[in-house]
Structure 1
Amino acid sequence: MKYSELVTPKNVVSAATGAGAIFLVAKTIMAVIKCPPYNPRPLTLVTRLSQAHHSKIMMDSGELRGLLASLSLRLDDYSKNMVLHGITRCVYLLDTEASACTYEDIKLVASFLDDPDVGIKIQTLHALKAFTGIWKFRIKIQEFIPKVLETITSIWDNDVHVAGLRLLNGLALPDHTHALLKKRMPGLMEILQMGNNLTQVQVLKYLSMLAQKEDLLFDIMNCQVYPEFLNLFQPSQPGNLLSELLVFVERLCEGRLTPHYQSVHWQYNESSLHEVLFGDDSRLADCLLSLIIHPEEGVQIQACRVILKLQLNEEGEIARIRHSDPIFSSFFSDSFIESTC
């Protein structure tokens, strides 16, 4: 057979395909020879915690039950701290075991709010906060709201304030606590003015919730504040603080627009929050104008919302006076007629 007869298109394609396959096999073998031995990367801490969490969900470890059984007033302060910290960790990580706890377990943990050591009070507040993540305990923990309020308003410690307020912000507010809140309102206002940034943000969230309760609105606005209260509105303040502060003022404005508020002629003290924010000599409008150009868009938007609510408050106040004061109403009508003539 001649060479020209062997070199046909079909034979060339077959040869190229075979050569290509041999080349790929050889390349694969060489890559395996040169490749370093398999050495799995160590798992990250987050991955290990996640795996441990899921494995413990499938099997009750008994860790949380053991910690609760060991919690006792007879322990030294260090041991109390460690056990309460362990309980908090287990409640967050071991859903099944935490859900199996009882009301008696919650009462046992809450009893350490009476401990004289501030650090133990803080750990107790953290543990109760963890238990609020379990739906069936939220209403039960409301029972301890009076004790938590007493704790955060009678101890001047930023960590106590933050831990207590985070707990309170995660709970609904029963009506029977309103009388106590009226007594504790000056303490909450003191925390707002003198606390650090984290504490101020938490207390503003709480006050914003309270401002939506009609029977608490007057007590909030009649709280005495320092003359420099409006310094909280300075553009140099952190954006998260300004946002929460403006939400709080917006809630107060909304409260002033309610029929209940407008049906009563309220008398506020000269140095009250109401006079500082809404009085004739208030500089709140100037503060709000400076926040309209704040670098953070959320602060700008919230400042505009408050300005709008203030305008509605002014219109509502004029309407209220017209209906309640015949002389003013007559004067307003005469002025309107003259202006249209």
Structure 2
Amino acid sequence: MGDGSVAPRLGNMKALLGIVAGAGASYGIYKLISGGSFKRGKKSVTTSESPGVRSSQPGEVTLQRGSLLAKVSGLDVVCPRPDVASADIIHQSPSNLEPQHLKMLLSCLQTSNNSSDRCRILLTLGNAAAFTVNQNLIREFEGIHIIAGFLSDPAAEVRVQTLNALNNLCMNIPNQEQIKVYVPQVLELIEMSPVNSDLQLGALRLLTNLSVTDKHQHLLKESITLLLSLLVVSNEALQVQTLKVLVNLSSNPDMMDDIVQAQAPASVVLLFDARTASPVLLRLLTFAGNLKAWRPSAQVADELRRTQDCLFRVMLDESSQLHSRLVQLLSHPDGEIQSQVARILT
């Protein structure tokens, strides 16, 4: 692609942003940029009551009413082949985006002054990052640091899309080495955002992927109290996501000392109740099972008993209500919950 063709196309990226919404639309950008051309003059798209919208120029494609291209007013598009319908564009995969298109999106992200545009670009990059080849390319283009820079964007919806994009990029192990430096900022978003917000959910999803292996779990050892506190005030979706992180951390014996010493709200044990949603309760029981499998020395246990409000006293000490609550759950109607409780008690 020569310099003469890139400049006008970059100049029209703002118009493209109107159609960047979802996985199919991101491929639409690829098709429009690589196969079509944008005319300098702005022309109107004539809409009639007939089944399609036809271009006034001979040889151009007929657009279906309600299709993606028909809705883009003011954008003069010449499709590469008359037999390619707009429906084919919106159903294509973002895995077909080529390296130069990812570069263009990252460049536009850095220069955009419009929060809606930034959201659409981040959404497209996030969808593209669901594919390994794009995960690697975005890293090689320094895209992770560019994207992560928007964790502090003033618009909440931009921060949400940033977290979603980083979450997909985090599925790639080499990418985690770059993403891990933003853990303090992600934790701050959880702490400062409204409870049950999309920001908290997106941040927890990212931490879940980052904590699947034990390599980066130590970065979260200071956040146990935050996670436990969130657990008792959030809705079901956030509770499930919080517990996914806690289960990951508690699966690592090297993290157990930090977990049991963390300050914990006494009301955590109240969640071990038949009225708690089953997806939450199952993960709570997994977390409790991991804690119960930990065997401290008598000296360590005595020290923990003297630590006020720590998780050990709330859930593992002899004075804890957890045991009696687990016994009550043996009669839970869900057989899987019964089995988990039985394993913990034996």
Contact 1:64/1:98, CA 8 A, preserved across alignment: no
% identity of equivalent residues: 27
Find the residue that maps to 1:124 and give its secondary structure: helix
CA distance in 2, matches of 1:290, 1:281: 17
1:191-228 deviations in Å (ceiling 9; x for gaps) = 11111111111111211222244454233223333343
Contact 2:243/2:284, CA 8 A, preserved across alignment: yes
**167, 183, 191: which is aligned to 1:129?**
167
Contact 1:221/1:273, CA 8 A, preserved across alignment: yes
CA distance in 2, matches of 1:176, 1:131: 15
CA distance in 2, matches of 1:197, 1:234: 14
Q: Are positions 1:305 and 2:343 aligned together?
A: yes
Q: Are positions 1:100 and 2:140 aligned together?
A: no
Q: CA 1:177–1:53 in structure 2 vs 1: closer, same or farther (change >3 Å)?
A: closer
User: What is the TM-score of this pair, normalised by structure 1?
Assistant: 0.66
Provide the residue aligned with 2:257 in structure 1.
218
Report deviation, 1:150: 2.5
Find the residue that maps to 2:232 and give its secondary structure: helix
Unaligned runs of 5+ in 1: 1-46, 309-341
1:36-65 deviations in Å (ceiling 9; x for gaps) = xxxxxxxxxxx96896229x64x7384433
Provide the residue aligned with 1:192 in structure 2.
231
Contact 1:62/1:97, CA 8 A, preserved across alignment: no
Report deviation, 1:232: 0.5
Count how many residue pairs are aligned between Structure 1 and Structure 2: 255
**242, 248, 273: which is aligned to 1:209?**
248
Provide the residue aligned with 1:280 in structure 2.
318
**286, 304, 322: which is aligned to 1:267?**
304
Report deviation, 1:135: 4.3
The residue type equivalent to 1:272 in the other structure is C
CA RMSD of aligned residues (A): 2.9
Find the residue that maps to 1:170 and give its secondary structure: helix
Provide the residue aligned with 1:336 in structure 2.
none
CA distance in 2, matches of 1:279, 1:285: 10
Larger Rg: 1
Contact 1:142/1:174, CA 8 A, preserved across alignment: no
Contact 2:217/2:249, CA 8 A, preserved across alignment: no
Report deviation, 1:286: 2.0
User: After superposition, where does 1:106-117 map in structure 2 within 5 Å?
Assistant: 106-117=144-155
CA distance in 1, matches of 2:223, 2:134: 36
**92, 95, 119: which is aligned to 1:52?**
92
Q: CA 1:77–1:295 in structure 2 vs 1: closer, same or farther (change >3 Å)?
A: same
The residue type equivalent to 2:239 in the other structure is Q
CA distance in 1, matches of 2:111, 2:341: 50
Q: CA 1:215–1:52 in structure 2 vs 1: closer, same or farther (change >3 Å)?
A: closer
**128, 143, 152: which is aligned to 1:90?**
128
Contact 2:291/2:316, CA 8 A, preserved across alignment: no
Report deviation, 1:128: 0.5
**330, 335, 339: which is aligned to 1:292?**
330
CA distance in 2, matches of 1:304, 1:96: 45
1:70-96 deviations in Å (ceiling 9; x for gaps) = 00265222222121112112222x654
